[in-house]
Amino acid sequence: METIRQMRRRNDYLSKVSAALLYAVCVSIAVNFFWTPGHIYSSGITGLAQLVDTISNRVGPVHIPVAAGLFIFNVPMFIIGWRRIGHTFTVFTFISVLFASIGIRLLHPVSVIHDPLICAIFGSALNGFGTGFALRSGISTGGLDILGIVIQRKTGHSIGRINLTFNIFIIIAAGFAYGWPYALYSALGLVVNSRVMNLTYTRQQRLQVMIITSRPKTVIDSVQNHLRRGITIIHDAEGAYKHDSKTILITAISRYEMGALEEAMDEADPHAFVSMTPITKILGHFYEPKL
């Protein structure tokens, strides 16, 4: 049994390192092939590193390149993650940021295309995919991601307002550095980055699930074997077509768990009626797996 656990842990670690490497490749290509040649700023700490790179290159006595700035500005986030989230999570976040810094440093900027609109869209899509995949694999890309996790766990709220304020600052800086059209292109890139990241990282999206079944005991056992979720039972429901007895089960899951739920339903009651509705807000305890 211990050998199986060790194998699972090793496979989990390998998948996290692979996700960190994929993120590093995506952000390195985004920075050096699209954002830098197109004069586009990213969001969060990466955008801050780009801004410091621009300012220090123009007026500063010491030039701080994007790769170095990305790592330096993430050091406080490593400390927060180590204390508030988890040691394993922080170690893999450190690995992902380190890989990204090395990748950006080693991969020299190449002007694939000069259109800033295309640079903003494709660079942000690449970065959004890499970031979302890393988060989905249980690691972070550093920066405001760590603050977001800490604030969400502590208050139940997202870091949206802080993120928005920080990114507005980056957009204004892009306007002063390269002209206001580039600020608009950077703003468009932020939207694309967010949308692609949300499509890739589904763990934070909540769904209310309603199951209508004639086999409630079997369904409950199967769902709870696959998912760590509470279930509310409503007895004495009646089907309008055959007037047969039904039971309604209600639970809440993350979109990331949809596959596990579908597998549980296929095992327990393939003929059950299941509907899923996006949840705007949850009050009360919603179990979050440890990272």
Can you give the CATH number for the domain in which 243 is found?
A: 3.30.70.120
In a domain, 267, yes or no: yes
Q: What is the pLDDT of residue 257?
A: 83
As a whole number of angstroms, the distance between CA 167 and CA 162 comes to 9
153 in the same domain as 51: yes
Rounded average pLDDT per 10-residue block, the chain, 291 residues: 70 89 95 92 91 89 92 92 85 94 89 86 94 83 79 65 80 89 92 85 80 94 90 92 92 84 92 91 74 55
Expressed as residue numbers, the domain containing 80 is 2-200
187 in the same domain as 78: yes
261 in the same domain as 236: yes
271 in the same domain as 152: no
182 in the same domain as 217: no
- Whole-prediction pTM value? 0.75
Q: What is the pLDDT of residue 1?
A: 47
In a domain, 139, yes or no: yes
182 in the same domain as 257: no
- How many domains are contained in the chain? 2
Q: What is the pLDDT of residue 160?
A: 60
148 in the same domain as 274: no
Q: What is the pLDDT of residue 4?
A: 67
As a whole number of angstroms, the distance between CA 186 and CA 194 comes to 12
For residue 31, the 8-state DSSP code is I
